[in-house]
Amino acid sequence: MSQHNRLAQGGRIDRNQPLSFTWNGKQYQGYQGDTLASAMLANGIKVVGRSFKYSRARGIFGHGAEEANALMQLGVGKETIPNPRATQIELFDGLTASATNGWPNADFDLMEWVGKIGGKMMPPGFYYKTFMWPEKMWMTYEKFIRKAAGYGKASLEADPDTYDKMNRHCDVMIVGAGPAGLAAALEAGRTGKRVILADEQNEFGGSLLASGQTINDQPAVEWAEAAAAELAAMENVICLPRTTVFGYYDHNFLGALERRTDHQGMTAQSGTRQRIHRIRAHQVVLATGAIERPLVFANNDLPGVMLSGSVATYVNRYGVVPGNRCVVMTTNDSGYQTALDIVAAGRTVVAIVDVRHNPEGRLVDAAREAGITVKPGHAIIEAKGNKQVTDAMVAPIDIEGDKVTGQPMSMSCDLIAVAGGWSPVVHLSCHTGSRPQWNDEVAAFVPGPTLQQQHLAGAIDGEYSTAGALTAGAQMGAKAAASEVHNQYDCGDESICPAQAMYLVPHTKPVSRAPKQFVDFQNDVTAAGIELANREGFESIEHVKRYTAMGFGTDQGKTGNINGMAITAKNLGKTIAETGTTIFRPAYTPVTFGAIGGRDIGELLDPARHTAMHSWHLDNGALFENVGQWKRPWYYPKAGESMQQTLNRECMAVRRSVGMVDASTLGKIDIQGKDAREFLNRVYTNAFSKLAPGKCRYGLMLKEDGMVFDDGVTACLGDNHFLMTTTTGGAAGVMSWLEMWLQTEWPELEVYLTSVTDHWATCSFSGPNARKVLEKLCDDVDLSAEAFKFMDWREGTVAGIKARIFRISFTGELAYEVNVPANQGLHMWQQIMAAGEEFDITPYGTETMHVLRAEKGYIIVGQDTDGSLTPQDCGMHWVVGKNKEFSFLGKRSFTRPDTSRDDRKHLVGLKPTDPTVVIPEGSQIVADPTQPIPMDMLGHVTSSYWSECLGHGIALGTVKAGHHKTGDTVYFPLADGRVLAAEICSPVFYDPKGERHHD
Amino acid sequence: MLHIYCPYCEEMREEEEFSYSGEAHIARPLDPESLTDAEWGDYVFFRTNPRGLHHEMWNHAVGCRRYFNVTRNTHTYEIYETYKMGEQPTVTGGKS
């Protein structure tokens, strides 16, 4: 039967636009304007999923963000989306959805029997308590537990959609476009201030869209339509329907997710599927409304038990009555309105079961006049049925609502509508750390004090009447816009009879023996579970939450939390105000990772920096390594070469003839000013007082704790002018570090820093034939060893370009670094390559650079050091100035007891006992490999390579007191069971006297 | 996300433009060599970690690159004032 729950007329659906959809493999029909949930209910679909822990059948229970059961697996394949709520999915033609769980299917689930038989034996903490032993087996258990429980599955394929983000600024941000939000927007909008109005639903109006009330004698729905149209026409107002404000952050910053195309299909036909608005607002009006609370009674999770307000919404907004015979249970007047709406739709209300003993007034009278049976002082203590409600067990209760006072009677029904009172949607107000406060008058938590520029309007503040919400909205909208209230609202008689606060409905049996009374549907938390947790000593509400999992998951306790807190309070003999509440964190409802990522994915995730010679490296087959954001050539394999063969060839070219590396990525800082020299003295370990123009010096930079933090060569360009180089990865950090000292401690120094990293391209070529190459290109500089010494620099013309030539070496060979403006870098590189052709000049990458420098024992800061090594630990006493006047950064720490210990970890060379072995980097170093685990660890290997020119493996590593252990053998127990050995030696493996780079 | 007034740019800017640089008003000792190990250790390693009012240094890293001071409540994230390097706070103590 097709749509047998659909009414012939009424609602905001278009019966002329039928849409077909597939649920669990079967085709159904709904209408334009439906949500997936309303269409499913129209078709009489009862079971929509299985519960998390007990695999109980669950049905649609709410109509919006509060829905805890109807989580869908939407779509298939790469488009699939796990766990959206059916109540928030707008129906489109061809929609496909299935249950997220249940095996073999949601309707017939074998796990249900596990839940039924084992349910009593699955208290809170069941998994922790049961699967603890043996510890090793947890990984095995977990696989099965995850399969049996849990919800939808994410696609493993790439998301076909695009997403983006937009920054917004406004005077007044209004969250929620129900009566309060619309009234606020009208007031703020007419002032001309910049206003943003966001609502999670497809159209503005909120509760008004399902209301039969009038506003100033106009039907509420028409008023909402007119208000939305008026706002849409205001140029200063941005209207964002289908937009959920999911987070409210410090200083009035809000995150909002706009679903731009989700209502049209699984993927966007054009443009972006979803957009995150990052909104900075001067004033915020929260008009987020309230969520209806269920009541906690036995088997209250059976399909067919629904929130009363949701039933009314389905009837009035979607033209769907989710049952034929309804019993309403209520603690307040709102259940009566639902009953009247059901009767008006032509279906039967068996009875209104009111827990209040003396309900009276406008709506109670109306119900009686409509011929509805009212049962005051009664409650539904238990629902009966298998996979759907068939009966309600109704019993008289005492005036406090604590005890059943008479025989239960059975009422046959297929729908139970529950009205347990309203919980203001305080979530956003909590996000900045404000704790909700209990308000006895409305028996609910309302937002507490806040430092944000925040205003509350309507049901969020406990104002549940429509006229009250409109009036509060108008007031707050005007206040946020610093204006006077303009509009007045009258909605006729909205008088109500006071509500009774009730949470757990008594049963004839004690909580521990009654059928399950659910508090949190999504996490299968029951009243008995909370009682047990309290009995086991979990008294803080934060502990109860974590022990029972109440309020977890995508639901975040929207319907269950208050009931759980009330039950805890009662168990502990406290008031709810004393028990308090947990607070809510972002996100209000789930935000897709696609939207969070936005455009910042793939190539746009992080900028890639290319040197001026990048195209040449690409053309010549370089493989690249990421160094910070830089793409540096790693090595240049020739056809058929293995990586090691390439490295051997590149290394030998440098040692025997000449090779060239692109060193443009090294950080370069131009330092000028009359105090530049003094500044360098303070930030480097060694002295720069006497460094003459034309000279370079290698320096170490320390943090104040005395540990090495960066290194590099600084050249004196003039008396008041220096060029500092830093490590590639450390450039930005060094720049900030230097600026900090100049700005905060030494403002009296006249020094100016400019980052020139990108301004210069650097061709660094080295090897015995390096001079011969340069001689071919440069004739205005005396390149002789006597005139242009190691650690000198000269300005000259190279290949027709004015260049700075530095005679510095990171390979241990004769080497030059030619610096030219970046625009001429590629030309210079090509000219040097051409000039070097007769010497078989070989381009090499970072890997060969690492091997060559390791053969010389040169450290790489950040690889061989880790912020815990002093210059002395690195064996670099020679770079520490002894007689510097100023106590340079870090110096005082050298004499701290811990820093001056003799048995600190020292950087040493390690020569493998087996010359063919290359010790894995990161290997732990021990003195005795036969020691039982855990062994005494001496240190670890920081760098390790095959040295082709030496014919054996080499390594650097840190070893406790290593400088005193030269000649000792140490061991490296590996994960695969092998134990390698090496001898501690000097870190300088190649040309220990340092003759070659002086040639 | 904090909204921070840069006293040099004289504008409110987003937190993303700034980086945090630790406690403010920690002066480097003029003569480190004359300090005891304990005194030096105190300067290098120890910082206050108050719940409430705190004076801290921020850097307008992707703006003017200036360092400046912020008086901020570490509990509520309220910013009471920002002021230039070398200036003293006007909001001090007691408030939380």
pLDDT tens for each residue of A937-967? 999 999 999 999 999 999 999 999 999 999 9
Beta bridge partner(s), residue A305: A416
Q: Radius of gyration of chain A from Cα atoms? A: 38
* Cα separation, A490 vs A469, whole angstroms: 11
User: DSSP letters along A718-763, please?
Assistant: ETTEEEEEE-TTTHHHHHHHHHHIIIII-TTS--EEEE-TTTEEEE
The more confident residue out of A258 and A107 is A258
Establish whether domains A164-290+424-480 and A324-417 are of one fold.
yes
Q: Model confidence at A998, in pLDDT bands (50, 70, 90)?
A: confident
> Does A249 contact B1 at a Cβ distance shorter than 8 Å?
yes
Residue A160 carries which side chain, given as an amino acid letter? P
Residue B17 has pLDDT above 90, yes or no: yes
Residue A394 has pLDDT above 70, yes or no: yes
Contact B51/A at CB under 8 A? no
Helix (H) or strand (E) holding A654: helix A643-656
Within 8 A of A745 by CB-CB distance, chain B residues are 27-28
Site from B19, B42, B62, B76 to mutate, A interface, most A CB atoms within 10 angstroms: B76
Picking from B32, B67, B78, the nearest residue to A740 by CB comes out as: B67
> Does B14 contact A280 at a Cβ distance shorter than 8 Å?
yes
Q: Name the residue ranges covered by the structural domains of chain A.
A: 14-109, 118-148, 164-290+424-480, 324-417, 614-665+759-852, 667-755, 902-999
| Residue A104 pLDDT | 57
> Does B85 contact A432 at a Cβ distance shorter than 8 Å?
no
CB contact at 8 A, A647 and A744: no
| Residue A424 pLDDT | 97
Q: Is domain A614-665+759-852 annotated with CATH 3.30.1360.120? A: yes
Residue of chain A whose Cα is closest to the Cα of B61:
A736
Within 8 A of B25 by CB-CB distance, chain A residues are none
Picking from B2, B31, B35, the nearest residue to A250 by CB comes out as: B2
**Average pLDDT score, chain A:** 94
| Residue A125 pLDDT | 65
Contact A398/B at CB under 8 A? no
> Does B1 contact A895 at a Cβ distance shorter than 8 Å?
no
Residue A642 carries which side chain, given as an amino acid letter? S
Q: Model confidence at A326, in pLDDT bands (50, 70, 90)?
A: very high
Residue A29 has pLDDT above 90, yes or no: yes
CB contact at 8 A, A910 and A956: yes
| Residue A476 pLDDT | 98
| Residue A114 pLDDT | 58
**Could you tell me the two tokens for A380?**
């539904």
Q: How far is B33 from chain A (nearest CA, A)?
A: 6
| Residue B94 pLDDT | 55
Within 8 A of A736 by CB-CB distance, chain B residues are 19, 59, 61
- According to CATH, the superfamily of the domain at A164-290+424-480 is FAD/NAD(P)-binding domain (3.50.50.60)
| A vs B: CB pairs below 8 A | 61
- Which residues are within 8 A (CB) of A870 and not within 5 positions of it... i.e. 6 or more apart? A702, A706, A707, A708, A893, A894, A899, A904
3-state secondary structure A548-605: HCCCCCCCCCCCCHHHHHHHHHHHHCCCHHHHCCCCCCCCCCCCCHHHHHCCCCHHHC
* Cα separation, A315 vs A466, whole angstroms: 19
Residue of chain A whose Cα is closest to the Cα of B66:
A743
Residue B96 has pLDDT above 70, yes or no: no
Picking from B19, B33, B79, the nearest residue to A887 by CB comes out as: B33
| Residue A810 pLDDT | 96
Contact B19/A at CB under 8 A? yes
Q: How far is CA A186 from CA A172, A269, A476, A478, in A?
A: 11, 34, 11, 9
Kindly report the pTM of this predicted structure: 0.90
**Could you tell me the two tokens for A700?**
């170490």
pLDDT in tens, A108-129: 666 665 556 555 566 666 655 6
**Stretch A470-477: mean pLDDT, rounded?**
98
Contact B31/A at CB under 8 A? yes
Q: How far is CA A576 from CA A324, A447, A561, A571, in A?
A: 37, 15, 12, 11
Burial pattern A486-525, b for ≥16 Cβ within 10 A else e, equals ebebebeeeebbebbbbbbbbbbeebeebbbbbbbbbbbb
| Residue B95 pLDDT | 42
- Is the peptide bond between A376 and the residue preceding it cis, with omega within 30 degrees of 0? no
> Does B28 contact A250 at a Cβ distance shorter than 8 Å?
no
Picking from A280, A705, A743, the nearest residue to B3 by CB comes out as: A280
Pairing of strands A14-23, A95-99: parallel
Residue A771 has pLDDT above 70, yes or no: yes
Contact A252/B at CB under 8 A? yes
Picking from A280, A705, A739, the nearest residue to B44 by CB comes out as: A705
> Does A736 contact B66 at a Cβ distance shorter than 8 Å?
no
Write down the architecture of domain A14-109 according to CATH.
Roll (3.10)
Lowest mean pLDDT among A343-347, A456-460, A580-584, A873-877: A580-584
Q: Please give the domain boundaries of chain B with CATH numbers for all domains.
A: 3-84 (3.30.2270.10)
* Cα separation, A716 vs A688, whole angstroms: 9
* Cα separation, A465 vs A470, whole angstroms: 9
| Residue A109 pLDDT | 64
Percent of chain A whose predicted confidence (pLDDT) is above 90: 89
Residue of chain B whose Cα is closest to the Cα of A898:
B37
With CA atoms as reference, report the closest residue to A313 among A206, A169, A236, A471: A206
Picking from A253, A736, A895, the nearest residue to B59 by CB comes out as: A736
User: DSSP letters along A870-884, please?
Assistant: -TTTTT-GGGS-SS-
Query: Is residue A417 classed as helix, strand or coil in its secondary structure?
Result: strand
> Does B32 contact A887 at a Cβ distance shorter than 8 Å?
yes
* Cα separation, A653 vs A175, whole angstroms: 68
Residue A155 has pLDDT above 90, yes or no: no
| Residue A586 pLDDT | 92
Class of the CATH domain delimited by A902-999: mainly beta
* Cα separation, A794 vs A796, whole angstroms: 6
Beta bridge partner(s), residue A27: A22
**Stretch A460-475: mean pLDDT, rounded?**
97
> Does B67 contact A744 at a Cβ distance shorter than 8 Å?
yes
| Residue A117 pLDDT | 57
Within 8 A of B27 by CB-CB distance, chain A residues are 745
Within 8 A of B64 by CB-CB distance, chain A residues are none
Fold of the A667-755 domain: Alpha-Beta Plaits (3.30.70)
pLDDT in tens, A137-146: 656 656 655 5
Q: How far is B25 from chain A (nearest CA, A)?
A: 9
> Does B44 contact A893 at a Cβ distance shorter than 8 Å?
yes
Residue A74 has pLDDT above 60, yes or no: yes
Lowest mean pLDDT among A173-187, A534-548, B51-65: A534-548
Q: Model confidence at A78, in pLDDT bands (50, 70, 90)?
A: confident
Q: What is the CATH number of domain A324-417?
A: 3.50.50.60
| Residue A53 pLDDT | 82
**Stretch A753-768: mean pLDDT, rounded?**
97
* Cα separation, A386 vs A348, whole angstroms: 22
> Does B85 contact A740 at a Cβ distance shorter than 8 Å?
no
Length of chain A (residues): 999
Q: How far is A755 from chain B (nearest CA, A)?
A: 12
Q: Tell the residue number behind the tokens 């050539």, with chain if given.
A: A633
Beta bridge partner(s), residue A755: A669
Contact B20/A at CB under 8 A? no
**Could you tell me the two tokens for B21?**
């640089």
CB contact at 8 A, A497 and A364: yes
Within 8 A of B43 by CB-CB distance, chain A residues are 704
Residue A674 burial (10 A CB sphere; 0-12, 13-18, 19+): exposed
Torsion of CA A926, A930, A931, A932, to 10 degrees: 120
> Does B1 contact A704 at a Cβ distance shorter than 8 Å?
no
